[in-house]
Amino acid sequence: MLTAITRNVSPSMGQCELTYLERVDIDIALAQEQHARYKEALETLGCKGISLPVEPDLPDAVFVEDAAVVLDEVAVITRPGAETRRPETHSVAQALRAYRGLVYIEAPGTLDGGDVLRIGKQIYVGTSGRSNRAGIEQMAAALERFRYRVTPVPVHGCLHLKSAVTLVAPACLLINRAWVDEPYFQGYPCIAADPLEPDGANGLWVGDAVVYSAAHPRTRERLEARGLRVVSVNVSEMEKAEGAVTCCSLIFEAGG
Ligand code: CIR
């Protein structure tokens, strides 16, 4: 069955890391409410939810995606590129230990889960400001025995690879071509985010649907025009923290 690890919004989220956005006030109560609706959407789509304890002193801890990459065979515990975020991995590793063997990215490597896009046995990793060559090489070495192919992909103008491209159906990508070069993904059908919605390339494929931000209605129309079922969520407060829909969960198959 599908399992979704999440972590409720920290009261300190207003002090989050920001790279491309200006800091604006975040309504923490609203963020918590939106996060609760997000978790409900995942449960409606068949995920069993596991909610990690809130981390009051770790502003970005709601973005659990960055702390690990969970594959069928193993989970990679990352070493996030932002130093303030490294303590987030401890409790994520603790939770994942019940489901997978763990491997760790170690210094000088850095890797954010938001940079990791898996399509079958092919893994693309963004060479962003957060994930470095050493981190990507460590991941490739750890996953070689499971026959994964790891390919670094440059991203420009956005935080993570999955800000620029995500999987929204089996082998169908949602992409912002301004932030990542499409030729890297040759052979996969692509839906382009509407040019007026550059942040619209982040969708979370779960079961038979795409969990998708209400902030991008034009791109939503494009997804629906291709026959995809969209489950809309309002994540405006997470978006002020430079988060999006994929980064608020770690979703994987777990027996039972
Ligand atoms: C950060 O800059 O690390 C957080 N404020 C946002 C992380 C979003 N993570 C993601 O998209 N995977």
Specify the pLDDT at position 171: 85
Specify the pLDDT at position 200: 98
Backbone φ and ψ for 45, nearest 5 degrees, come out as -85, 10
Please tell me the distance from the alpha carbon of residue 176 to that of residue 162, in angstroms, as a whole number: 10
CA 239–ligand 1 middle distance (angstroms): 9
Question: In this predicted model, what pLDDT tens digit does every residue of 77-107 receive, in sequence order?
Answer: 999 999 999 999 999 999 999 999 999 999 9
- CATH topology for 2-253 is L-arginine/glycine Amidinotransferase; Chain A (3.75.10)
Q: What is the largest CA-CA distance in the chain?
A: 46
Q: Return the half-sphere exposure (C-beta side, CA atoms, 13 A cut-off) of residue 97.
A: 8
Answer whether residue 48 shows pLDDT above 90.
yes
Going by the DSSP 8-state scheme, the letter that residue 155 receives in this structure is B
Residues 216-239 have a mean pLDDT of 98
CA 190–ligand 1 middle distance (angstroms): 24
Average pLDDT score, the chain: 97
Specify the pLDDT at position 194: 98
CA 232–ligand 1 middle distance (angstroms): 20
- Pairing of the two strands 229-233 and 250-253: unpaired
- Could you tell me the pTM of the whole model? 0.97
Residues 181-187 have a mean pLDDT of 93
**Binning pLDDT at 50, 70 and 90, where does residue 255 land?**
confident
The closest residue, in CA terms, to atom 12 on ligand 1 is 114
Q: Are 180 and 173 in contact (CB under 8 A)?
A: no
Q: Are 109 and 152 in contact (CB under 8 A)?
A: no
Answer whether residue 256 shows pLDDT above 60.
no
The closest residue, in CA terms, to atom 8 on ligand 1 is 243
The closest residue, in CA terms, to atom 1 on ligand 1 is 17
Ligand 1 mutation pick, 242, 245, 249, 250, max ligand atoms within 8 A of CB:
242
Residues 6+ apart with CB under 8 A from 55: 7, 10, 61, 87, 88, 91
Going by the DSSP 8-state scheme, the letter that residue 151 receives in this structure is E
Q: What are the structural domain ranges in the chain?
A: 2-253
